[in-house]
């Protein structure tokens, strides 16, 4: 019965979302794994919950016209998918990358519902973005794009309605320009965006939060496997916001980060990545990771991002983008003795990669649990904004630490409760689903 309800919902989904491959992949993973939940608690599938959960509340698509530095007119497409607000105002990042399509935003918005639910904080799920690519654009171009983007978006968002933040291609600079335009249009200075710089309304630790949270979450996974961070060789894909601060925290708890990547290739540094050098290259200079190998003796650069999984390591943290680790990547990790994989990015491991890790008994931390520290700290930023106060770094960091530990506990307990101890995918999906479904049932059919 439960199995057939899930199958019916998925069949409808395929029919209604042709070509939306990533969204189908994300929905399939969640619905496919919660069958044991529906068997034990059939009341949670009442009132068309499954069908309503996989249909976004609202999807907005708009044109973003702007002038580049030569005076030429450019046109991009903007998106905001407000997926579900049963638990609180819509919340989720904005992604600016040339690959962004409606499919991308739907998959990310869907994942965000369950991730936000796992934080136990009052947030619904949403995502947005554009196919605009900030790489190689001047500050003026980025500013004009952000102003035009916000001129459309502002009417759909608000501190109690929908609170966007950063994601790929959107960091403190973009959030600043977006906020500046929102403030002009709405004439209010509220917490309508998170990821603001701390000197004008942002929260300390928000920039570091996703990476730090990932390392706190992985520490619990390691402990369950009888390991601890100290001395472990670690491979981290990406070198953006999540990857950099995962590397920072991993190093500070004694791990040695031996490889990092960007979309062009990866660096291998047997002495352990020099975080400060990497941060200067990627965050301050917005340069390619290749520059690292030129400035650090003993480090090697290899063309091709996917080769990073061939670097031997005990822990692998994919922190770049979706489907970046495929079956071959997972097999390479298994062959070199990897003992743990935790996702810093959203859906970075393909279903085949996850199957290989599972078959080889490698503990796996799914992104919607392991990378929830960023959005959790966004909520802490919203809380400070609405109270007009500013917490210290230690205050925010210790709250983040507590939240990541509670997320791990929920995943572990839900996996046990629903009959698959250690299966953190089931645990995360089940714990998130139960919370969202109960709220939807209480709020009636809409």
Q: Which of 314, 377 has the CB closer to ligand 2IT?
A: 377
If the CB atoms of residues 92 and 348 are measured against ligand 2IT, the closer one turns out to be 92
Active site residue 368: no
Does residue 50 interact with ligand 2IT by CB under 6 A? no
Distance CA 344, CA 320 (A): 8
Give me the 107-126 binding string for ligand 2IT, x by CB under 6 A, dash otherwise. --------x-----------
Tell me how far apart the alpha carbons of residues 161 and 385 are, in angstroms, rounded to a whole number.
15
Identity of the residue, 302 or 435, whose beta carbon is nearer to ligand 2IT in the bound complex: 435
Least distance from ligand 2IT to the Cβ atom of residue 190, Å: 15
From CA 112, how far away is CA 375, in angstroms rounded?
9
Interface residues with ligand NDP (CB under 6 A)?
A: 166-169, 210, 238-243, 262-264, 305, 319-321, 324, 344-346, 371, 374
- Kindly give, in sequence order, each residue whose CB lies less than 8 Å from that of residue 44, ignoring residues fewer than 6 positions away: 37, 38, 433, 434, 437, 438, 441
- Other CB atoms within a 10 A radius of the CB of residue 388 amount to 7
Catalytic residue among 91, 106, 115, 127: 127
242 contact, one of ligand 2IT, ligand NDP, none, CB 5-8 Å limit per kind: ligand NDP
From the list ligand NDP, ligand 2IT, none, which binds 345 (C-beta under 5 to 8 Å, kind-based)? Answer: ligand NDP
Q: Which residues pair with 90 in a beta bridge?
A: 162
Residue 49 or 353: which CB sits closer to ligand NDP?
A: 353
- Kindly tell me which of 144 and 207 has the beta carbon lying closer to ligand NDP: 207
Q: For residue 171, state whether it binds ligand 2IT (rule: CB under 6 A).
A: no
106, 23 contact by CB (below 8 A)? yes
Contact partner at residue 194 from ligand NDP, ligand 2IT, none, CB < 5 to 8 Å by partner kind? ligand 2IT
Partner interacting with residue 220 (select from ligand NDP, ligand 2IT, none; CB below 5-8 Å by kind): none
Pairing of strands 265-268, 300-303: antiparallel
**Could you say which of ligand NDP, ligand 2IT, none residue 92 binds, taking C-beta under 5 to 8 angstroms by partner kind?**
ligand 2IT
**CA separation for the pair 209, 380 (Å, rounded):** 11
Q: Tokens standing for 163? A: 């609170």
Task: Report the 10 Å Cβ neighbour count for 61.
Answer: 12
Q: Which long-range contacts (CB under 8 A, 24 or more apart) does 133-142 make?
A: 133/96, 133/97, 133/98, 133/169, 134/96, 134/169, 134/174, 135/169, 135/286, 137/68, 138/69, 139/173, 140/69, 141/66, 141/68, 141/69, 142/173, 142/174, 142/177
State yes or no: residue 191 binds ligand 2IT (CB under 6 A).
no
Q: Indicate whether 97 belongs to the interface with ligand 2IT (CB under 6 A).
A: no
Q: Name the minimum Å distance from CB 196 to ligand NDP.
A: 13
Give the one residue of 93, 213, 238, 329 binding ligand 2IT; rule: CB under 6 A: 93
The angle, 0 to 180 degrees and rounded to 10, between the axes of the packed helices 102-118 and 21-33 is 30
- Residues making contact with ligand 2IT (CB under 6 A): 91-93, 115, 165, 167, 194, 346, 374-375, 378
Positions marked catalytic: 127
């Amino acid at each position: 019965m439960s199995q057939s309800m899930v199958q019916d919902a998925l069949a409808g989904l395929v029919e209604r979302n042709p070509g939306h491959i990533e969204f189908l992949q994300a929905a399939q993973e969640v619905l496919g794994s919660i069958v044991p939940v529906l068997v034990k608690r059939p009341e949670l599938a009442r009132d068309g919950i499954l069908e309503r959960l996989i249909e976004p509340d609202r999807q907005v698509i708009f044109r973003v016209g702007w002038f580049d530095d030569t005076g030429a007119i450019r046109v991009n497409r903007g998106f905001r998918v407000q997926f579900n607000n049963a638990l609180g105002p819509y919340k989720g990042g904005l992604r600016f990358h040339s690959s962004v399509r409606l499919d991308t935003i739907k998959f990310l918005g869907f994942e965000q519902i369950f991730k936000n639910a796992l934080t136990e904080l009052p947030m619904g799920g949403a995502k947005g973005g554009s196919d605009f690519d900030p790489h190689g654009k001047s500050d003026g171009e980025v500013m004009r794009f952000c102003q035009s983007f916000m001129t459309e978006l502002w009417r759909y968002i608000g501190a109690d309605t929908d609170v966007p933040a950063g994601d790929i291609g959107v960091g403190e600079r973009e959030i600043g320009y977006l906020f500046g335009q929102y403030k002009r249009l709405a004439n209010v200075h509220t917490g309508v965006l998170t990821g603001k710089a701390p000197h004008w309304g942002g929260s300390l630790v928000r920039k570091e939060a996703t990476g730090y949270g990932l390392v706190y979450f992985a520490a619990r996974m390691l402990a369950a496997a009888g390991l601890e961070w100290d001395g472990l060789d670690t491979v981290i894909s990406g070198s953006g916001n999540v990857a950099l601060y995962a590397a920072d925290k991993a190093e500070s708890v004694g791990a040695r980060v031996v490889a990092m990547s960007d979309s062009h290739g990866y660096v291998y540094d047997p002495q352990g990545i020099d975080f400060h050098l990497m941060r200067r290259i990627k965050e301050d200079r917005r340069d390619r990771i290749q520059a690292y190998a030129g400035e650090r003796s003993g480090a090697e650069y290899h063309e091709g991002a996917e080769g990073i999984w061939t670097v031997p390591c005990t822990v692998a943290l994919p922190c770049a983008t979706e489907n970046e680790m495929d079956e071959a990547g997972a097999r390479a990790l298994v062959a070199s003795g990897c003992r743990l994989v935790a996702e810093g990015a959203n859906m970075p491991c393909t279903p085949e990669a996850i199957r290989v890790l599972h078959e080889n008994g490698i503990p796996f931390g799914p992104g919607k649990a392991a990378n929830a520290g960023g959005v959790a700290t966004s909520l802490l930023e919203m809380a400070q904004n609405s109270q007009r106060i500013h917490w210290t770094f230690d205050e925010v960091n210790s709250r983040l630490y507590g939240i990541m530990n509670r997320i791990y506990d929920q995943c572990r307990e839900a996996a046990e409760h629903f009959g698959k101890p250690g299966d953190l995918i089931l645990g995360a999906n089940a714990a998130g689903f139960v919370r969202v479904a109960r709220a939807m049932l209480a709020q009636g059919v809409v």
